[in-house]
Amino acid sequence: MKLELRMGDWMVTMGLVGLYRVFEYGLRNGVIDQRYRQSVLVLPQGLEVETDVLPQLPRAYFLYLIDEYSAAKRESERLLFYMEQAKRENLFSTASSNIKKVITDIGKRIQKYFPNEPVEPLFEKLKSIKKPTQWDQLQECVSDFQKMIRKEAINEKLTLNYFKAAILKSFFGQVSFLNVSKNYLDLEGHIEQFQTDYIGPVQYDLQLEYTLQSASKVDEILSFLDQHVDYGPFKALKKAWKKKTLSQVREEAKRLAECMLFPGHFAFYNFEEMVFSPIGLSKGNALNFNWNLQDKQPKPISSLAKLVLFFAPAGAAIYSKREQSYDQGEYRTYAGFVQSDAAFPEILQKNNHFKQMKQQKDPFDHIVSKLVQSITTEARYVIDHLFFLEFSSDYDSKKTHLHYYHLPLYLARYFVEYPGKLDYVHYEYREQFIQEVLRGVDPAQAIYRYLRDCIENGRSHIGPYIAVRERNRIMQLKKGVKGMEKTDKRVYALYRSGQEIRKTVEQAGAPKAAGHYSASPSKKISSIAYRLLNAAKAGDRKSFLDTLFRLHMSAERPISPLFLNALHERDLDFTTVANAFIAGLLSQEGQGEQEEVVS
């Protein structure tokens, strides 16, 4: 039987992408037999799935995830990095203690599940390593450990535990094999549980639909229900239809709930937390979230929808990301997805591209530019309406951070016309910058934080200037301005005037009055930059200009009329004026050449 699964809401499309990835993986690696190769077809509107292939999917699902999140691969890469570090004498002690920590943590887990593995001798050997001269011994330990962790059974168990806890749990909570009571299961046990909980119901429900259509007598339907009486929903149907005629049964079947995600299928389940935890709520604990306080099946969905949603983790790109500023905030695991108005094959391709780039840790702006460029149409810029979505969900605290990033026309134009311009901006600030821009928010706050970081840590870099200029370009594009040359020149002039003031202050040096302390020029510059930045952040034009005038007077330099924009904002807005000047004040000479490169 053929099923057409149409894409729809993002979670459904994510599930379909996941299902196809798993199928493709299975076929490629011989998990799914070649005779099924035509069983899942990509259509413009979604997927066409032959029901025969369904039982093949659970094994492919687990092997795909084991391959994707292999503990052996991950830990080996980590150890390799530390081993490189340990080659340097001054870093040896930190690196070796990191290595010891990794090996001890993982080793203890191995010991728990595989008591016969020689973990204890490895620990003993590690303990004796203390000096940089023992690098070879350390290397020996690491390679012994790698051999151990690469054993199929060990890698399988550790990886299973990892993706269950770190990835699947945030999608589904403690349902099916994710329940703690199923922790003892091995790979085969997991596959079996998946079959029972997800594949079985889909097969039964579809067979019921078929039997209802094809039956010539009511007994055919009843005996079918009898055969699968252990399946919960059928038990109730059997009871209700026992003494009915065929036409009555068919009439009643029409009144059964219909799936909200895949219309036309019976809905015996409900969309709630255990089906898709990032946005669902537990049915019984949030009655007021349902229309008319419905407590039975407020959002009916079919077993098929439940299965498709279960593939969503394979459809997303998983990565960790720090929110907030550079030195604050914690890393969270995010699942990202690209949605666009394109046909399903294109969405699939874009998501594969997105996942690949996220794995390479490409910064967000690169990803956006690449995605935009890879689909550049005949037109000069892309009109395709891209939209990125990412979420981080914690099942235990019942909290989901979900972000939408739309790519409106002016931004698409920006990424096509100015690709890679943000390269000089520090990675963390660049991500924040792009994310704010994609949300339709002025990225000024990210620039303030960046400037503050530069002042605090005495960094001198071209980055803040680039950020100011790119922000200005984006704001201009938003307003519909086309040529950027004039406004770019103005920003550059302000930046240069900041640089020149710095040069003058530095050349003047500290006055040498005997017995009196006098701050060094760099300290002076930082304190002025702080004051200017605070004024800019508060939107206090008066205070900004006041400091600026004094600074120019003490440096005996004329003031550029461009600064008047801080008041009338005819050519540039106050934020750009202030930030461009501060960026100049913080950057040292010799960076004019760099500017040539990045303009």
Partner 1 sequence: MKALRLKLFQETACYKKPFASKVAETYPLPPYSTVKGMIHALLRADRFISMRLSVQGEYEAKLLDYQRHYFFKKLDTVAFPLILDGIQENRFVYDTNGISTMPIYTHMLYGVNLLIHVEVEDSVLEQVIQAIEGGGIHYSLGRWEDLVRIDEYKIVFVEELDEEKDLRYHAYISDHLLDIDTRHIPYEIPWKYEIVNGVRKWEKVKVGYVPKGTTAPEGVCIDEDGELVFFHL
Cβ–Cβ under 8 Å, residues 236 and 262: no
Minimal distance in Å, beta carbon 178 to partner 1? 18
Minimal distance in Å, beta carbon 341 to partner 1? 5
Residue 384 in contact with partner 1, rule: CB under 8 A: yes
Cβ–Cβ under 8 Å, residues 65 and 314: yes
Q: Which of residues 174 and 297 has its CB atom nearest to partner 1 in the complex?
A: 297
Give residue for tokens 């809905």.
267
User: How close are the terminal C-alpha atoms of the chain, in Å?
Assistant: 59
Q: Which of residues 236 and 286 has its CB atom nearest to partner 1 in the complex?
A: 286
Q: Which of residues 305 and 528 has its CB atom nearest to partner 1 in the complex?
A: 305
Minimal distance in Å, beta carbon 169 to partner 1? 15
Minimal distance in Å, beta carbon 300 to partner 1? 7
Q: In what order do the strands lie in the sheet with 317-322?
A: 317-322, 331-340, 386-394, 399-406
Cβ–Cβ under 8 Å, residues 389 and 405: yes
- The values of phi and psi at residue 360, to 5°, are -80, 0
Q: Which of residues 132 and 408 has its CB atom nearest to partner 1 in the complex?
A: 408
- Contacts with 243 (C-beta within 8 Å, 6 or more apart), sequence order: none
Query: Restricting to residues 435-474, which ones interact with partner 1 according to CB under 8 A?
Result: 439-441
Query: Restricting to residues 291-310, which ones interact with partner 1 according to CB under 8 A?
Result: 291-300
Alpha-carbon distance of 443 to 428, in angstroms, equals 13
Query: Restricting to residues 513-552, which ones interact with partner 1 according to CB under 8 A?
Result: none
Q: Which of residues 205 and 273 has its CB atom nearest to partner 1 in the complex?
A: 273
Q: Which of residues 339 and 487 has its CB atom nearest to partner 1 in the complex?
A: 339
Minimal distance in Å, beta carbon 284 to partner 1? 7
Cβ–Cβ under 8 Å, residues 365 and 434: yes
The interface region with partner 1, picked from 130-138, 223-231, 403-411, 462-470 by CB under 8 A, is 403-411
Alpha-carbon distance of 531 to 543, in angstroms, equals 9
Query: Restricting to residues 338-377, which ones interact with partner 1 according to CB under 8 A?
Result: 339-341
Residue 250 in contact with partner 1, rule: CB under 8 A: no
Cβ–Cβ under 8 Å, residues 173 and 277: yes
* Residue 539: both structure tokens together: 């939107």
Per-residue contact flags (x/-) with partner 1 for residues 261 to 290, judged by CB under 8 A: ----------x-x--xxxxxx--xxxxxx-
Residue 140 in contact with partner 1, rule: CB under 8 A: no
Rounded (10°) CA dihedral 461, 467, 470, 474 = 180
Crossing angle of helices 574-586/463-479, nearest 10°? 160
User: Which position among 51, 111, 400, 504 is part of the footprint of partner 1 (CB under 8 A)?
Assistant: 400
DSSP string, 296-349: S-SSEE-HHHHHHHHTHHHHSEEEEEE-SSTTSS-EEEEEEEEEESS-HHHHHH
Minimal distance in Å, beta carbon 176 to partner 1? 20
Per-residue contact flags (x/-) with partner 1 for residues 2 to 31, judged by CB under 8 A: ------xx-x--------------------
Comparing CA positions, the residue from 365, 374, 378 lying closest to residue 407 is 365
Alpha-carbon distance of 347 to 190, in angstroms, equals 30
Q: What is the DSSP letter of 572?
A: S
Classify 518 as helix, strand or coil. Answer: coil
CB neighbour class for 333 (10 Å; exposed up to 12, middle 13-18, buried from 19): middle
Comparing CA positions, the residue from 142, 24, 28 lying closest to residue 80 is 142
Q: Which of residues 412 and 501 has its CB atom nearest to partner 1 in the complex?
A: 412
Residue 258 in contact with partner 1, rule: CB under 8 A: yes
Q: Which of residues 6 and 552 has its CB atom nearest to partner 1 in the complex?
A: 6
The interface region with partner 1, picked from 22-30, 116-124, 198-206, 399-407 by CB under 8 A, is 399-407
Q: Which of residues 29 and 282 has its CB atom nearest to partner 1 in the complex?
A: 282
Q: Which of residues 227 and 248 has its CB atom nearest to partner 1 in the complex?
A: 248
Per-residue contact flags (x/-) with partner 1 for residues 33 to 72, judged by CB under 8 A: ----------------------------------------
Minimal distance in Å, beta carbon 138 to partner 1? 46
Per-residue contact flags (x/-) with partner 1 for residues 409 to 428, judged by CB under 8 A: x-------------------
Label the pairing between strands 399-406 and 300-301.
unpaired
Give residue for tokens 């930045």.
533
Residues in contact with partner 1, counted by CB under 8 A, come to a total of 51
Cβ–Cβ under 8 Å, residues 160 and 189: no
Q: Which of residues 128 and 397 has its CB atom nearest to partner 1 in the complex?
A: 397
Sign of the dihedral through C-alpha 63, 68, 71, 72: positive
Residue 391 in contact with partner 1, rule: CB under 8 A: yes
Minimal distance in Å, beta carbon 59 to partner 1? 30
Minimal distance in Å, beta carbon 397 to partner 1? 9
Q: Which residues does residue 258 pair with via DSSP β-bridges, in sequence order?
A: 266
User: Which position among 319, 326, 404, 418 is part of the footprint of partner 1 (CB under 8 A)?
Assistant: 404
Give residue for tokens 């798993």.
22
Alpha-carbon distance of 235 to 244, in angstroms, equals 15
Residues making contact with partner 1 (CB under 8 A): 8-9, 11, 255, 257-258, 260, 271, 273, 276-281, 284-289, 291-300, 339-341, 383-385, 387, 391, 393, 398-402, 404, 408-409, 439-441
